[in-house]
Amino acid sequence: MRDKVRKKLKLFLENRNHPSLRYKKVQALRHEKPPVYEISIDMSIRITLQEFDDHIYLRNIGGHAILP
């Protein structure tokens, strides 16, 4: 799984709008500042993250259970 995660994070840094990432805002956490987003590693694994001015904070990596 590590290799998959690394590959997708590299892709995210190069092109966050790549269709395979399915990059979108987590609606249940829309009140958070900055907003929480998710990307897909595969059909069952997600990463939630927040983008700040000078860094990206990875919140969680796991299945759909990581989403509220």
Domains in the chain, number: 1
23-67 pLDDT, tens per residue?
999 998 888 899 999 999 999 999 999 999 999 999 999 887 766
pLDDT class of 68 with cuts at 50, 70, 90: low
pTM equals: 0.85
DSSP letter (8 states) at residue 59: E
* 17: Cβ contacts below 8 Å, ≥ 6 apart: 23
Domain that holds residue 6: 2-66
- Is residue 14 over pLDDT 90? yes
